[in-house]
Amino acid sequence: MTSLPTYEEALASYDPVMGLEVHVELGTRTKMFCGCITTFGAEPNTHVCPVCLGLPGSLPVVNRMAIEYTIRIGLALNCTIATWCRFARKNYFYPDMPKNFQISQYDEPLCTDGYLDVIVDGQAIRVGIERVHLEEDTGKSLHVGGATGRIHGAEYSLVDYNRAGIPLVEIVTKPIEGTGAAAPEVARVYVTELRDLLRALGVSDVRMEEGSLRCDVNTSLSPRGSGVWGTRTETKNVNSLRSVERAVRSEIERQAAVLDGGGRVIQETRHFHEDSGRTTSGRSKEEAQDYRYFPEPDLVPVAPPADWVAQIRATLPEAPSKVRARLRAGWDVPEAEMDAIVNAGALDLVAQTVAAGASPADARKWWLGELARRANDAGLELADLPITPAQVARIAALVADGALNDRLARDVIDAVLAGEGDPDQVIAARGLAVVSDEGALNAAIDQAIAANPDVAAKVRDGKVAAAGPLVGAVMRATGGQADAARVRELILARLTQ
């Protein structure tokens, strides 16, 4: 087998074309066509009823809130909202779908023809939205006894229908062309932007790790300059933002190797593996005709009145991209710094910390530095750390006043994260404030000078840069609780006057 072409070699010969399908579970209280509740993590098969189990004689009823949420998404993505559309029955048999069909939308989606603007490396890219449609989610299979958790090699499988029937919106892009080597990054930034938008709309908790936001990545290669699209593959259920980027990149490299070797890319679904960063073959992809779609006979058409759509439009929040632009102007930070804040998932936190009185630079420093490190070590999102923006703002203020130095501030953060209370309570309880008693400092300085006569002599001769060991000795003597800059000032005043 020949080795894979490098990414750069692949891009020299081919232009990638992508299509992204994002599935998002709506945060409605009940399922799409029945009254079962949708809470995540319940005992298996406890949130089920005759409708979502597809028992004979049961009839579905559309969840009005799910329609409203889908229209909200469509409007936020600049789509046209259908004045009349129908659900369709998608026929297939998998054990995770108890009815043997899924109620979806086919040729009459609720929202069509929109776009989402994203910024990649300072460049605005308009991603076209083909359609936004509403369907019901499937149940969940658990394959037991195999090494990989997949059905191959498993001894038996269990199925949980709690998820079956939860409203699921599918957002499909138009083909994304012309992005060249930036394609993987465009894919990640698009999904990130879409996730932030959906969160701002309040329609879903968009947790990729819990599967409430899932992404399928279609990739094909077009020989450079030919304008002829190749066969695409669909990489399924890529479940982190980083994996979206890696999956596109890996498919570009793999398909280029197949084509360079004179082979054909097969139209199929593929699975992305987090560990290797590679995809492997899944099943050959069904065509639409395999699903034998027809209008769902158990449901009336959906015809949202124009005044209802107008009402929904009037309640749309400011788009996250606009919020970012507004905050960036107010904070006066460079684009790259703003990107770092957004990519760390810290935008709301920094904004709230600034609102609580911290400077933008301080808020950014604490959240992206010390706190990002703690979150990373604990395997948590920044927002899930048990410290509030107001507490971070208070710590920043204490550092600015000289009541804490950075090292003490880190101890205060540790204590707040450990649940010991507000910064001021922690400082009082642990005696963490900076030693500002000049008498105590002067005594420590006297000792340091006496113990390091050669260093003191150099400083007296005008080599002020040599004072470091003296500052260090005083800091040690005060248990790190002195303000190092103040200590240096006092030492220089003593030795050079």
By the criterion CB under 5 A, which residues form the site for Zn ion?
34, 36, 49, 51-52
Buried b (16+ CB within 10 A) or exposed e, 425-448: ebbeeeebbbbeeeeebeebbeeb
Distance from C-alpha of 86 to C-alpha of 109, rounded to nearest angstrom: 8
The secondary structure of 452-463, three-state, reads CHHHHHHHHCCC
Q: Which is nearer to Zn ion, 51 or 327 (CB)?
A: 51
Cβ closest to Zn ion, residue 36 vs residue 66: 36
Shortest Cβ distance from residue 291 to Zn ion (Å)? 23
- 37 vs 378, which CB is nearer to Zn ion? 37
- Please report how close the Cβ of residue 96 comes to Zn ion at its closest, in angstroms: 15
> Cβ of residue 312: shortest distance to Zn ion, in angstroms?
26
Would you say 50 or 178 has its CB closer to Zn ion? Answer: 50
Residue 315 to residues 131, 171, 389, 428, Cα–Cα distance (Å):
22, 21, 27, 46
Q: Which is nearer to Zn ion, 36 or 385 (CB)?
A: 36
Find the shortest distance in angstroms from Cβ 169 to Zn ion.
19
What is the nearest approach in angstroms of Zn ion to the Cβ of residue 48? 6
The count of other CB atoms within 10 Å of the CB of residue 330 is: 11
Shortest CB 163 distance to Zn ion, Å: 11
Burial class (CB in 10 A: 0-12, 13-18, 19+), 261: exposed
CA–CA distance, 23 with 8 (Å, rounded to integer): 31
CB nearer to Zn ion: pick between 52 and 259: 52
State the nearest-atom distance from the C-beta of 141 to Zn ion, in Å. 19
Which residue lies nearer to Zn ion by CB, 58 or 141? 58
Q: In degrees to the nearest 10, what's the CA dihedral of 386, 389, 393, 396? A: 50
Look up tokens 């049961």; give the residue: 58
Residue placing its CB nearer to Zn ion in the complex, 49 or 182:
49
Closest distance of CB 356 from Zn ion, Å: 44
Give me the long-range contacts of 225-231 (CB less than 8 A, separation at least 24).
Answer: 225/15, 229/17, 229/175, 230/14, 230/17, 230/255, 230/259, 230/265, 231/264, 231/265, 231/266, 231/267
- Nearest-angstrom CA–CA distance, 323 and 316: 13
